[in-house]
Structure 1
């Protein structure tokens, strides 16, 4: 049986949970604070020690850890991260459905689902925890920051596992839309099912599509229509596709379309990894999580939700 997750002794604050850090039981450091100072060597050590003096670093009971507490006194410590100055994401997350157990939202492009990469307050999770006054709100699945559309959140811990199991068992039907530039050498044959092996490594920005090995990613792709974009790229010949992923690998839809020569418009990762640059809010990735369907594990009733967003470059 798996270990029971440790519950944070510190409450969620301003929508953000405390950070947990595992501390070695033995080592060359005389105190826990000395280990933390070396672990975060990019931070002024006196600044870190002052946090210990103010009682901002605690053990599992919530008791403060002093700067002189010896190494080995506890295995884990908790603290609140000092939040960075964030660039505002000027788009709102819309609530599609809310009940005692489930919250379904329509996430805009550019807003991350959870804190990360310099975004904390500007994440769907933190914004919703604050707006709904619910520190227990937790995402059941995630969308890339640059992808818009439907995301489901668990509203309480008692029923969270039932919804998470749906995704683990692949009993949730998800439907996406994408817009790609019309390929110069003509359309690939559609509809089709793309199967491949995708792998990802920590620190690598893109997945690798491997020829060898058992496929672990599958997407059904069909053509909705072709035409001319009426958005920022007005006049560009484009094609609008419907995507039904049967697995949920990282960047699966983006990699599969790029592999067909149908890289999604405004994708900075596929087929070519572009240099990092500030977000251009006028050019969102043309990928949308449009629909989600499942049988509710608590009631047995069929549930279906649909995004109200549209892709700006879709053919008019």
Structure 2
């Protein structure tokens, strides 16, 4: 499967549930054309791989090649002298020295010949990346279903749990991708956050009442570091509808509908309201990189997915169990 190549790593992280791992499915990279190389040139594929993946030592690529873990699209092995071929696909197997086992499990909510609708738990990435090669939703579902063409139809952050649409049939996959491009999918989320003191005061003296609603439209762009996002001045490129529906001991349960689909949109929009989502390690302040704290999952859930099947016409309306405001309140005492 195509992968975020810059995430290929040989991590030395060692947690109690970490083991070494080699990806069961290959990733690939398309060799750039000369016009895309910014003046560089490569005689061999090996030279390109070493230069492109700067975080991977040349000796590691040499060993992968020696072990037969690098090949062309049709399976022919690549060796250290294989010539660089622009636009050709090079397949390779990502590996990490320590892969953490995520102790939470997915649940299949619906399956037919074209799709799977599944619950994804917190902390489990959808596809390989970083220190995860096989501990991801796609690989788990391929094992569970014995279908090696399982692929996501949309994104869901590793830290976010909830309902996801996965495709099974490469011949019909485009029809489900098109649903998202045409805004024919309705996604409903829940979140828990600390309510601002001003809002709590207004609720206490009955100058406002639940539910409270916000329409949030602003411009979201990449921040620094680039995997985080920020709101800037300019024409809005993001839109969310957010409602506060319940409050207990200063914590609020929110219902959220993303009208657009920017990266981290709901997390950034909640921050813009002054109520960042509970246990968010990115917002408002990026926390130091470290092991996941399984006792403090991000309180954001993709609770419900609704759409008309583009092939069968069936009206799908699938949801999972919602966030528990009372349990979260008690866990913080």
Bin of the TM-score, shorter chain as denominator length: 0.7 to 0.9
Whether 1:307 and 2:320 are equivalent positions in the alignment is yes
Q: In structure 2, what is the equivalent of residue 226 of structure 1?
A: 247
What secondary structure, in the 3-state scheme, does the structure 2 residue paired with 1:86 have?
A: strand
Question: Of 158, 161, 166, which residue of structure 2 is paired with 1:145?
Answer: 158
Offset of 1:170 from its aligned partner? 0.7
**Alignment map for 1:180-199 (pairs within 5 Å):** 180-187=193-200, 190-199=212-221
**Which string of whole-angstrom CA distances, capped at 9 and with x for unpartnered residues, describes residues 262-307 of structure 1?**
1111112222222223211111111111111111111122110001
**Alignment map for 1:80-99 (pairs within 5 Å):** 80-99=93-112
Give 5+ residue unaligned stretches, structure 2.
3-21, 203-207
Q: Is the 8 A contact 1:286 1:311 kept in 2?
A: no
Q: Is the 8 A contact 1:295 1:302 kept in 2?
A: yes
What secondary structure, in the 3-state scheme, does the structure 2 residue paired with 1:167 have?
A: helix
Give 5+ residue unaligned stretches, structure 1.
6-12, 229-236
Q: Is the 8 A contact 1:97 1:105 kept in 2?
A: yes
Distance 1:111 1:195, change over 3 A: same
Aligned length: 296
In 2, Cα distance between equivalents of 1:193 and 1:44:
49
Whose helix fraction is larger, Structure 1's or Structure 2's? 2
Q: Is the 8 A contact 1:195 1:217 kept in 2?
A: yes
In 1, Cα distance between equivalents of 2:23 and 2:70:
18
What secondary structure, in the 3-state scheme, does the structure 1 residue paired with 2:242 have?
A: strand
Distance 1:84 1:305, change over 3 A: farther
TM-score, with length taken from structure 1: 0.84
Question: Of 266, 285, 295, which residue of structure 2 is paired with 1:282?
Answer: 295
In 2, Cα distance between equivalents of 1:315 and 1:303:
33
Distance 1:205 1:79, change over 3 A: closer
Distance 1:222 1:28, change over 3 A: closer
Offset of 1:75 from its aligned partner? 3.4
Q: In structure 2, what is the equivalent of residue 216 of structure 1?
A: 237
Whether 1:291 and 2:304 are equivalent positions in the alignment is yes
Offset of 1:199 from its aligned partner? 1.3
Q: In structure 2, what is the equivalent of residue 205 of structure 1?
A: 227
Q: Relative to structure 2, which stretch is displaced further, 260-269 or 75-84?
A: 75-84
Q: Relative to structure 2, which stretch is displaced further, 26-35 or 169-178?
A: 26-35
Q: Is the 8 A contact 1:225 1:240 kept in 2?
A: yes
What secondary structure, in the 3-state scheme, does the structure 2 residue paired with 1:222 have?
A: strand
TM-score, with length taken from structure 2: 0.80
**Which string of whole-angstrom CA distances, capped at 9 and with x for unpartnered residues, describes residues 21-50 of structure 1?**
416669654433233334445444344334
The alignment's C-alpha RMSD in Å is 2.6
Offset of 1:73 from its aligned partner? 8.6
